[in-house]
Structure 1
Amino acid sequence: MYSDADAAALYDFLNPWDPDRRADDGFYFPLVMGAESVLDVGCGTGAMLQLARERGHRGRLVGLDPDLAALGRARRRADVEWVEGVAADVENGADFELAIMNGHAFQFLVTDDDVRTSLSAIHGALRSGGRFVFETRHPQARAWAGWDASNPDDVVDLVDESGRALRVWHEVDSVTGDVVTFHGTTAAPDGTVLRIDRASLRFLGVAELNMFLAEAGFEIEAQHGDWNREPVTASSHEIITIARRR
């Protein structure tokens, strides 16, 4: 078996937070360091806020996530607030200057109600003029088309932090409208399956996304199609949004 704690450790191993080497992390990190209070929605194992504190952030840092195993790793650093919950649980009136939802976490908001309640809660947690920054994969790029065991770019062979040799890959189960359901497999090198994790992601287009944001009381400060802050175009793979609370 491959436990939830093992899976959280594997996530850290596969997705090291490194703003000096990764363009996406490098986009978010200066925003975090420049804000006096930050809410990380879907913080996972907390690597972003941990590094912010390590590099001298002196303000309020709060990480929110429903995954207890991930929070268990995050809580190894006690000078950040770690809260169990989802976006809709965010404290109203918390007066954050910045809220972030990175790692494509926004796409786990699958239904209209999920999106509306989450955006409303995040809006309520920000001070007037506060910013919500997040990214979602642009549906036109069809990222899910590469999630397949036959795609060598999607198959990862590694040795995890406990010394186990593993193979990890993804496969799509269904595409229904703008929702893609898939599963990820963690296996031994001989193919013995250790764990299967299933999830659904929503791929909202720009118009639909901006409609939800406006409805929640946000105005669009900027939207980019890549981490170099280029505009969203017909070939963009991302929709990176900086929204401001009105």
Structure 2
Amino acid sequence: MDFTDDDVAELYDLANPWDPDRWPSDRFYDGLVAAAGSTLDVGCGTGQMLREARVRGHQGRLLGLDPDPAALGRARRRTDVEWVEGRAADIAWRREFDLATMTGHAFQCLLSDEEVRASLAGIRGALRTGGHFAFETRHPQARAWEQWTRGDSGDIAFTDGRVLRLGYRIEVRGDVVDTTEVTSLAEGTVLREDTGSLRFLDVGPLNVLLAESGFEVEGQYGDWRRGPVTPESGEIITIARAT
């Protein structure tokens, strides 16, 4: 029972459908993209946000960037959006975009200050002066990882008829959490295990890195209703302006 990279990308879409009418996080980004003439989505994955923006009538330039060829394979089903394989640190576009985004906590995949600086430099270079970078990272004080090993995703009906579940194992190393995502059949047979790591930056260090990279924080929120960041906040949602 092989479970391929293409299957993983498809399962991601099933488990995380993009729906601005249902999810406040999707609505937050949908509004920003709709108001921007051009958007670069860094870590676009399967491209759901940009595909939905086009469906909803966006007429400007939309470009998705991601290092995962399987995810981009799903994204490329929509041919009126640009899709490019690569990472933020390798961005070569200069002053071409009004908005850059990193959704789905993709920012947390940058595991060191050096990675963050290199990625922010690429994103800053792609933005016009005065353009905006919007992204979110989980607030470390909320300790979200403690919830990930409690139970599983519940049943997910896969398109080939199998019923799947996702579960997690974790290990904490300072501000980095190593994850193992376990994909299994509902009856327990494990199909695949995928490892990854996420960094949990706090507000102070995050904002220092942004300032060093040519960004000024315009808004920073603890929830998708644009409430303030507090010690109880689950998110650090940032809109930064390229100076």
Which band: TM-score by shorter chain? Answer: over 0.9
Give the CA deviation at 1:91. Answer: 2.0
Give the CA deviation at 1:111. Answer: 1.3
1:214 is aligned to 211
In 2, Cα distance between equivalents of 1:190 and 1:240 = 38
Give the CA deviation at 1:190. Answer: 2.5
Compute the RMSD of aligned alpha carbons.
Answer: 0.9
In 1, Cα distance between equivalents of 2:164 and 2:236 = 32
Give the CA deviation at 1:94. Answer: 4.1
In 1, Cα distance between equivalents of 2:196 and 2:116 = 16
1:159 is aligned to 157
Contact 1:61 1:81 in 2 (8 A): yes
2:140 is aligned to 139
2:74 is aligned to 73
2:24 partner letter:
A
In 2, Cα distance between equivalents of 1:192 and 1:94 = 49
TM norm structure 1:
0.96
Contact 2:132 2:240 in 1 (8 A): yes
Contact 1:41 1:100 in 2 (8 A): yes
Contact 2:96 2:128 in 1 (8 A): yes
Deviations 1:52-94 (A, max 9, x none): 1111111100000011010000000100000000111222414
Deviations 1:4-33 (A, max 9, x none): 000000000000000000010011101001
2:14 is aligned to 13
In 2, Cα distance between equivalents of 1:180 and 1:231 = 25
Contact 1:46 1:74 in 2 (8 A): yes
| The one of 176, 197, 201 aligned to 1:200 | 197
2:124 is aligned to 123
| The one of 222, 242, 245 aligned to 2:239 | 242
Worse-matched range after superposition: 96-105 or 187-196: 187-196
1:156 partner letter:
G
In 2, Cα distance between equivalents of 1:155 and 1:62 = 31
In 1, Cα distance between equivalents of 2:104 and 2:175 = 19
1:179 partner letter:
V
Deviations 1:215-236 (A, max 9, x none): 0010000000000000001110
In 2, Cα distance between equivalents of 1:168 and 1:201 = 18
The aligned length equals: 242
Deviations 1:125-166 (A, max 9, x none): 000000000000000000000111xx23x4322211221111
Sequence identity of aligned pairs in percent? 60
SS at match of 2:25: helix
1:114 is aligned to 115
Contact 2:92 2:126 in 1 (8 A): yes
1:3 is aligned to 4
